[in-house]
Amino acid sequence: MHKNQKASYDRREFLRGSAAIAGTTVAGVLLPTGQVFGQQAKLKVGLMLPYTGTYTQLGIAITNGFKLAVEERGGKLGGREIEYFTVDDESNPAKAPENVSKLVQRDKVDVVIGTVHSGVVMGMAKVLKESGTIWINPNGGAGAMTGAACAPNFFRTSFSNWQSTHALGKVLKAKGIKTAVFITHKYAAGEEMMEGFKEGFEKEGGKLVKELYLPFPQVEFQALLTEIASIKPEAVVCFFAGGAAIKFLKDYQAAGLKGKIPLFGSGFLTDGVLDAVGDAAEGVETTLHYADGLDTKKDKAFRLAYAKTFKLQPDVYAVQGYDAGQLLAAGLDAVKGNIGDKAGVIKAMEAAKIDSPRGPWTLSKSHNPVQDMYLRKVVGKENKVQGVAWKALADPARGCKA
Amino acid sequence: MDFAFFLIQLLNGLQYGLLLFLVASGLTLIFGIMGIINLAHGSFYMVGAYLAWSLSAMTGSLTAAILLAIPLTVILGMGLERLLFRHLYQRDHLYQVLLTYGLILVFEELRSMIWGDDVHGVAVPELLNASIPLTDNLSYPVYRLAISGVCLLLAAALYFLIQKTRLGMMIRAGASNRDMVQSLGIDIKLIYTLVFALGIALAAFAGMINSPLSSVFPNMGSQVLIICFVVVVIGGIGSVKGAMAASLMIGLAETFGQVLVPEVAGTIVYVLMAIVLVWRPEGLFGKG
């Protein structure tokens, strides 16, 4: 398509793509016996992710994505082989400090990768702020991690909750919508997403007429749907995920609201649930930093390599894990694998331009991705990209002084 | 809130209450009447929902799936009673708590091995897949009303079984003095097996019939477990009437709580339980 101006870029992409496939095949065969005696000891990477419970699939996708990024580089980062240490965080915030301490103190890892659940993320933050271990968070969107609790060794390759709904204000304005109701569970992620939307919408002159909260993890929506029908807003914006998202989408349709009041949401509403909801999600529009049908070389190569290696289709979580690997590679390449030069690693990671399947992104001052937010629309079983809702959206990182 | 919407919310509350009764009915029988603490109630609810999902995918019909799944859950209940629960009737409640907590873990793991960790939706039966318009932009799904009907039938049947039949009399007698009933020549072992299996089947049936509304997902059982115990405790242990009254009270309190005092909606049910227990420690219809 862009043959003339981008020939070298294309070739590099192509090579990287094929290397990924070749690399993973080779790695798969050789790894068990593939002891190579280099000059440096192995780099210790601690994976603290959910491998049991509701978020198991997310933990696996992130792990796969990370390992794919490493395998594409010949199984090495900054010239060093990787030794993995794994801890199942069970998505249990109460155990977070203990679990992350296992990696930091017992295994003495050089880098910590984790995790999905925002509550666990905040539990990890306390320990990792003290230890100063380099930490890359491949999912949990708690604003505080790159906000009030930010630190030089904290990095995130996913999103902040605020980011995932902020661009919706612009989207609604473009459609001429002036009033909206926001509905979500009453817990930190829901409230942060509500704030992100409210700020974006009011900046565009819109009015958030009502915030509706449901106690977490209840899923009896009937009373609040009735409330929405009586308020008659021009749009409903929401955040639910997993089982709650499925039920909400179905109930919204069953209550007859679908088609009468358009539904919008944070992209997590319609990710990984489309098989289960049937046609109840059709036409729902969401914003997220990833989408189906991006149709870029990088995304295609990534999807192909991921599918071939793991016999699974990648999702947004796999992309976030993959980018955690890419970000770490950028840091370690700059210091030739010498993780002891922590300042050098951090500096290189801060300056990195990540060539992600989601599109290129950089880090903000507080180490959260500055990234394009896509507007997606549910068409059949896909979150089809409709365009970029907000180019290079940065989290405001309120309260970050590091 | 104008009057029309007040009436709709009233309907929401009653309908939710009936749904709660359905979900708690199995526990009413096993905990309320037999006096066995069954923390795995939610797991049987989950098993029912997953059976409904997988069998309706196989047969193409939720009705057929339910008809196939009910005998399976009765067999499961009888098997568990013979193998495990039978040995714990005479022991302290703590043993039952430990056993049934263990069962929760076992069933979650089995669910993960057999059916995986994905969320699934179950289609509403074609015949009931309609909505009744209430206002210009709100309508009421027929399936919800149908469930309410099933709940009322079930409540009546349970009440009749426990209070009016000979079998019910034996169950009640057995719950208060097992040895005496046995020495009167009644096969109390068999009765307990049957009633226990019925309780398990009821929990599973609730999961099945509710699956199109709730969808099917890991850990779905733990969500209903606590509210079920609240229903039985508020209603008074041993009373079907009480469980029904408590379900409706909770349904209405939750519905209006969410709309009128959203800040504290999460605690309303527990405040309600605390008030009832202070006022009547034996529950609304308990025997004290």
Tell if the CB–CB gap between B117 and A242 is shorter than 8 Å: no
Residue ranges of the domains in chain B?
A: 16-218
Whether A69 maps to a domain, the answer reads: yes
CB-closest option in B120, B141, B266 to A254: B141
- Please identify among residues 199-258 of chain B the ones whose CB lies closer than 8 Å to any CB of chain A: 213-220, 223, 254-256, 258
Tell if the CB–CB gap between B9 and A278 is shorter than 8 Å: no
Q: Any idea which of A35-39, A221-225, B98-102 has the lowest mean pLDDT?
A: A35-39
* A106 and A195 belong to one structural domain: no
Whether A395 maps to a domain, the answer reads: no
Q: Using DSSP, how many helices (H) and how many strands (E) does chain B show?
A: 11, 2
Q: What is the pLDDT of residues A290-306, one digit of tens each?
A: 999 998 999 999 999 99
User: How many domains would you assign to chain A?
Assistant: 2
Chain B partners within 8 Å of A254 (Cβ): 131, 141, 143-144
Chain B partners within 8 Å of A260 (Cβ): 137
- The residue segments making up the domain with residue A346 are 3-158+294-367
**Nearest chain A residue to B123, by CA:** A278
- CATH number, domain at A126? 3.40.50.2300
* A218 and A232 belong to one structural domain: yes
Angle (deg, nearest 10), helices A316-334 and A297-310: 100
**Nearest chain B residue to A223, by CA:** B255
Distance in angstroms (rounded) separating the CA atoms of residues B174 and B282: 20
Distance in angstroms (rounded) separating the CA atoms of residues A232 and B5: 12
Tell if the CB–CB gap between B139 and A278 is shorter than 8 Å: no
* A12 and A131 belong to one structural domain: yes
* A302 and A276 belong to one structural domain: no
* A25 and A99 belong to one structural domain: yes
**Nearest chain A residue to B13, by CA:** A223
Chain A partners within 8 Å of B254 (Cβ): 220, 223
* A237 and A331 belong to one structural domain: no
pLDDT over 50 at A219, yes or no: yes
Whether A99 maps to a domain, the answer reads: yes
* A351 and A262 belong to one structural domain: no
pTM of the model: 0.83
* A182 and A116 belong to one structural domain: no
- Of A265, A288, A311, the position where a domain reaches its end is A288
Extract long-range pairs of A145-148: CB within 8 Å, 24+ residues apart: A145/A121, A146/A364, A146/A366, A146/A367, A146/A368, A146/A395, A146/A397, A146/A400, A147/A366, A147/A395, A147/A397, A147/A398, A147/A399, A147/A400, A148/A398, A148/A399, A148/A400
Check if the beta carbon of residue A209 is closer than 8 Å to that of residue A181. Answer: yes
Of chain A, the percentage scoring pLDDT greater than 90 comes to 76
Whether A382 maps to a domain, the answer reads: no
Nearest to B70 by CA among B283, A294, B78, A224: B78
Whether A399 maps to a domain, the answer reads: no
Shortest alpha-carbon distance between residue A185 and chain B (Å): 11
* A115 and A186 belong to one structural domain: no
Whether A391 maps to a domain, the answer reads: no
Tell if the CB–CB gap between B138 and A225 is shorter than 8 Å: yes
- Give the DSSP H/E element, type plus range, for residue A214: strand A207-215
Of chain B, the percentage scoring pLDDT greater than 90 comes to 52
The pLDDT-based confidence of A186 (bands split at 50, 70, 90) is confident
Mutate to test the interface with A, among B6, B129, B217 (most CBs of A within 10 A): B217
A122: its two tokens: 């905040």
Q: What is the pLDDT of residues A345-375, one digit of tens each?
A: 999 999 999 999 999 999 999 999 999 999 9
* A145 and A41 belong to one structural domain: yes
Please check whether residue B115 touches A, CB under 8 A.
no
- Of A256, A288, A320, the position where a domain reaches its end is A288
Tell if the CB–CB gap between A223 and B256 is shorter than 8 Å: yes
A121: its two tokens: 């993320």
Chain A partners within 8 Å of B266 (Cβ): 186, 215-216, 218
Q: What pLDDT is attached to residue A17? A: 47
What is this model's ipTM? 0.81
Tell if the CB–CB gap between A57 and B118 is shorter than 8 Å: yes
Q: What is the pLDDT of residues A239-282, one digit of tens each?
A: 998 778 888 999 999 899 998 999 999 999 998 888 888 889 99
Please check whether residue B159 touches A, CB under 8 A.
no
* A235 and A334 belong to one structural domain: no
Tell if the CB–CB gap between B141 and A255 is shorter than 8 Å: yes
* A246 and A345 belong to one structural domain: no
